[in-house]
Amino acid sequence: MSTQIQDLRALVESVQEDVVRWRRHLHMNPELSFQEEKTSQFVYDTLASFGAYELSRPTKTSVVARLIGKEPGPVLALRADMDALPITEENTFEFVSKNPGVMHACGHDGHTAILLGVAKALAGLKDQIRGEVRFFFQHAEELFPGGAEEMVKAGVTEGVDAVVGAHLWASERVGKVLVKAGALMAAPDAFYITIQGKGGHAAHPNETVDPIVIGAQVVLNLQHIASRNVDPLDPIVVSVCQFHGGTAHNIIPNSVELVGTVRTLNPALRDRVPELMERIIRGVTEAHGAQYTFRYERGYRPVLNDEAVTDKVRAALIEAFGDEGVQEAKPTMGGEDFSAFQAAVPGTFFFIAAGNPDKGIVYPHHHPRFTVDEDALPIGVEAFLNIVAKFNGLA
């Protein structure tokens, strides 16, 4: 093990208790997207206590911290998200949410605590850093249009050469990090369909244009996009998640509403999907004498990791954890607004494994009993410190 790795590991150990304490405080005090006022103030005050950072508030509930070294060099941005979800927590540990109906059910409390730990560890190394390390404590990852887009519009990426973010990942056992160049996470788009038919008594269906039957055919035929219209090696998900219609057991309604999501990794395919969908919706409804309205909303961009930045991050992580501690990440059809930063500057996003069946930490993200193995927190701190050393040097 190199001297630098040993020194960085000692720094991790020096902040480990703080990171766990911060994570638990944040877990007990969750705030929803665009409402992170106390959370962002806690982050601001904690960063101010380190005495080494230039701090700003680019939006109402976000924080940017700048650690500017004495020597010239690259500007590396590190990102953590801070918002919670509208979920009632069902965990029973001592630091459960104190805010009814609001919960950190995706690990953002851990992300924020990890980056605070990195900031504290680096505060004493300001004179050894070449260039600048810029910290993005971002609001509203969970709610479109997302906080990342707002922060970019506020100018936080100006002068940044590379941006790196990470997500605690409960589906993988704690003890490793997962990295991948290229497409990692999907664009989470949404669609809204109204099918207008002609209602009537269920005893006389011949006198109606039944939107429920037509809607059922639309649901089934939309699956032809994935199975027959798209290259089978090009991932896509088309899911109808809501089907609303009818008020009685014996009345055929006038209309139904369908709501769902489309997930794609390929930007070109993403652009094609609305046309493919509308062709199917139009064909089915016209065949049965109904009308429709169709609205397609583009969500976050897909997370597309820059190859050069990813290679550098992977090398830093292998130096820290060895080949056995760094694995190739599998793409996921979940979405992440980190992609807004990547649209502005080259960047990469990686996963920090945080599940542990031995401790009962098996629940998926956004579940009322979701949590992370806190052994993943120092791994996250060490990962980011080694990335900083790789990009900026710690002379």
Beta strand 130-138 pairing with 303-305? unpaired
What is the C-alpha separation between 56 and 368, in angstroms, rounded?
A: 34
Residue located via tokens 């699956």: 223
CB-facing half-sphere around the CA of 207: CA atoms within 13 A = 8
The residue from 89, 132, 141, 161 that is catalytic is: 141
Active-site residue, 141 included: yes
From first CA to last CA, the distance across the chain in angstroms is: 17
Residues sharing a CB contact under 8 Å with residue 190, sequence separation 6 or more, in sequence order: 259, 260, 261, 262, 296, 297, 299
Active-site residue, 37 included: no
Query: Closest by alpha carbon to 103, among 112, 95, 114, 111?
Result: 95
The residue type at 34? F
What is the C-alpha separation between 95 and 98, in angstroms, rounded?
A: 8
The residue from 31, 36, 81, 83 that is catalytic is: 83
Query: Closest by alpha carbon to 157, among 62, 75, 40, 80?
Result: 75
* Active site members: 83, 141
